[in-house]
Amino acid sequence: MSQVKATPQVGEMAPDFELLNDEGKPVKLSDFRGKKVVLYFYPADFTSGCELQACNFRDNYARLQAKNAIVLGVSPDDVESHRKFREALNLPFHLLVDKDAALIKNWNLWTTRTNPDGSTRTGVSRSHFIIDENGKILDVQAPVKASESVPLALEKLGA
């Protein structure tokens, strides 16, 4: 039985990982040392809340870059879906593939929700983490509303 991990917290080092990006290339979190990283987790490509969140990051990308920050999005979608989503929305940042949700589960972001009709469903808890240039977590928003993610990230970065 695998142990459920705790969500990384402010002040902790962000656990390193390696995932494929929307171009099928391996990416490690540690590849971005020297820059701040806004790492956001979202349920699925081509859904309304996820499009809103991605477009907000796109529309504010210059402000984030001005604070030495890059953005990485993570969901269980595959390389092809991420590529199409990134192209359709003209995103200036990469999306990472967590097909088996291993990273999502390791960061304790796989949750069960109860729908209004009483049924339940499992999926990604929309969230974001701001990681400093040395890999230390500066801010955790878990969960976060799609519309609030970018304003909260910009506020934390002083942008």
Catalytic residues: 50
Residue 70: φ, ψ to 5°: -120, 165
- Going by C-alpha positions, the residue among 44, 11, 14 that lies closest to residue 106 is 14
Nearest CA to 131 among 76, 68, 87, 74?
A: 68
Helix (H, G, I), strand (E, B) or coil at 95: strand
Sequence-distant (6+) residues with CB within 8 A of 94 are: 21, 22, 23, 27, 72, 73, 86
Residues in the chain: 159
